[in-house]
């Protein structure tokens, strides 16, 4: 169950958590036309708190809306400010932030271009998405029978609500089959991404991730690439096949929800030693140092809450 907080920001006002409701005739409920983000805020060294890469997340929200031709009736700076305020009124110093823009009621049918666009922001405490144990020991993943849709069917640079039906089906299938997470291949059969994560492998000492061609440009993915370069770990962004995961020395998922989650097994094959490897551990440790404000070199990624 989501751990409720007090207030949700809805169209510029704060409403009680239980009153943040929408009408059953809201267009987005029927057709999935909306955009959203997932952002985390962490307690930082010295007793403060900071949102991780807030600007990049809000910019991606607006990119998603632009791709969809959805006019969010606020500026990016207004949404950033509303996020900070929502954390503040709820007294939340660590947790998850979910901004969403969606189409309300009015006309029915697909076109409905005169319906109002609403925006909302909810925040709540949320621990590690794939489990504390998963973060430490690694999880088990399975290549999904669902593909990451063709780049011309599902826009790759947008977090559009309806697209997540495919991810939800992949996740349900993986969990029902006894695994923790799904690996989706692209329509050409190469490894694309998880149901809500990007994927990294280490092979021959090189950290490798799928190129941006057919995947969501993850902000955690970008953070990991930057961290790796700073740590002098060789990186490459190039396609790889499912069996390259089987023979990888290490593998991990990245995402705002999943953070840096090691993968210890894929398709019932042990990855490397079956334990998080040295590169994964080094990057995971650096990532948590950064989000918790223990690394001055990356302090520009933190939107410190006042």
Ligand X SMILES: Cc1ncc(COP(=O)(O)O)c(C=O)c1O
Residue number, 167 or 208, with CB nearest to ligand X: 167
286 is catalytic: no
Q: How far is the CB of 274 from ligand X (least distance, A)?
A: 25
Site string for ligand X, 158-197 (x = CB under 6 A): ---------x-------------------------x--xx
**3-state SS, residue 175:** helix
Pick one of 28, 161, 209, 254: the residue that binds ligand X (CB under 6 A).
254
**HEC per residue, 45-96:** CCCCEEEECHHHHHHHHHHHHHHHCCCCCCCHHHHHHHHHHHHHHHCCCCEE
Q: How far is the CB of 256 from ligand X (least distance, A)?
A: 3
Residue number, 115 or 284, with CB nearest to ligand X: 284
Subset of residues 264 to 293 that bind ligand X, contact rule: CB under 6 A = none
Alpha-carbon distance of 217 to 209, in angstroms, equals 11
DSSP string, 122-165: EEE----TT-HHHHHH-EEEEE-SSPPPPTTTS-TT--BGGGHH
With 0-12 CB in 10 A as exposed, 13-18 as middle and 19+ as buried, what is 45?
exposed
Binding-residue total with ligand X (CB under 6 A)? 14
Select which of 159, 176, 236, 281 is catalytic: 159
Contact flag: residue 99 with ligand X (CB under 6 A): no
Q: How far is the CB of 15 from ligand X (least distance, A)?
A: 26
Alpha-carbon distance of 18 to 221, in angstroms, equals 35
Give the up-direction half-sphere exposure of residue 35: CA atoms within 13 A in the CB hemisphere: 22
Q: How far is the CB of 280 from ligand X (least distance, A)?
A: 16
Residue number, 29 or 212, with CB nearest to ligand X: 212
Pick one of 38, 125, 149, 162: the residue that binds ligand X (CB under 6 A).
38
Alpha-carbon distance of 30 to 26, in angstroms, equals 7
Q: Which stretch binds ligand X (CB under 6 A): 11-19, 21-29, 253-261, 266-274?
A: 253-261
- Torsion sign over Cα 174, 179, 181, 183: negative
Subset of residues 192 to 221 that bind ligand X, contact rule: CB under 6 A = 193, 196-198, 216, 218-221
- Torsion sign over Cα 268, 269, 274, 276: negative
Q: How far is the CB of 255 from ligand X (least distance, A)?
A: 4
Residue number, 70 or 225, with CB nearest to ligand X: 225
Q: What angle do CA 285, 159, 228 make, to 5 degrees?
A: 25
- Supply the angle between the helices 54-68 and 219-230 in degrees, to the nearest 10: 140
Contact residues for ligand X (CB under 6 A)? Answer: 38, 167, 193, 196-198, 216, 218-221, 254-256
Catalytic residue list: 159
């Amino acid at each position: 169950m989501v751990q409720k907080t007090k207030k949700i920001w809805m169209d510029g006002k704060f409403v009680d958590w239980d009153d943040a409701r929408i009408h059953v005739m809201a267009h987005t409920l029927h057709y999935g036309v909306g955009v959203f983000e997932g952002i985390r805020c962490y307690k930082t060294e010295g007793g403060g708190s900071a949102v991780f890469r807030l600007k990049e997340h809000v910019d991606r929200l607006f990119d998603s809306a632009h791709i969809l031709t959805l006019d969010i009736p606020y500026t990016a700076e207004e949404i950033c400010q509303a996020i900070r305020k929502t954390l503040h009124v709820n007294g939340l110093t660590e947790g998850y932030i979910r901004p969403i823009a969606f189409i309300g009621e009015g006309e029915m049918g697909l076109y409905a271009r005169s319906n109002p666009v609403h925006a909302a922001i909810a925040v709540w405490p949320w621990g590690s998405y794939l489990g504390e144990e998963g973060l430490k020991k690694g999880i088990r993943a399975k290549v999904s029978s669902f593909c990451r849709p063709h780049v011309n069917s599902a826009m790759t640079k947008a977090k559009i609500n309806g697209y997540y039906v495919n991810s939800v089906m992949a996740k349900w299938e993986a969990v029902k089959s006894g695994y923790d997470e799904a690996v989706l291949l692209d329509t050409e059969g190469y490894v694309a991404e998880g149901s809500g994560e990007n994927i990294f492998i280490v092979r021959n000492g090189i950290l490798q991730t799928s190129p941006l061609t057919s995947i969501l440009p993850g902000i955690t993915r970008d953070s990991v690439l930057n961290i790796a370069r700073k740590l002098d770990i060789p990186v490459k962004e190039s396609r790889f096949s499912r069996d390259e995961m089987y023979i990888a020395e290490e593998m991990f998922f990245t995402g705002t929800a999943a953070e840096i989650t090691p993968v210890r097994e894929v398709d019932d094959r042990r990855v490397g030693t079956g334990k998080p490897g040295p590169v994964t551990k080094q990057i995971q440790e650096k990532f948590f140092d950064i989000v918790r404000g223990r690394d001055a070199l990356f302090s520009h990624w933190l939107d410190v809450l006042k």
